[in-house]
Amino acid sequence: MLLILILFVQLINGIKINNKFIEEPDDVETIIGSTLIFRCRTEPIHQSQITWCKNDFCTLGKTRDLPFYPRYQIIGNADKGEHHFQIVNVSLEDIGMY
Sign of CA dihedral 28, 31, 32, 37: negative
Nearest to 75 by CA among 59, 93, 91, 52: 52
pLDDT value, residue 44: 78
Any idea what the CATH number is for the domain that residue 95 is in? 2.60.40.10
Nearest to 60 by CA among 97, 35, 25, 19: 97
Record the pTM. Answer: 0.74
pLDDT value, residue 62: 61
Q: What whole-number distance in Å separates Cα of residue 84 and Cα of residue 34?
A: 16
pLDDT truncated to tens, each residue of the chain (98 aa)? 444 444 444 444 444 445 677 888 888 889 999 999 999 898 876 666 678 888 887 766 566 778 888 999 989 988 888 889 999 999 999 999 98
pLDDT value, residue 58: 77
Q: What whole-number distance in Å separates Cα of residue 59 and Cα of residue 30?
A: 23
pLDDT value, residue 93: 93
Range of the domain at 60: 1-98
| Tally of structural domains, the chain | 1
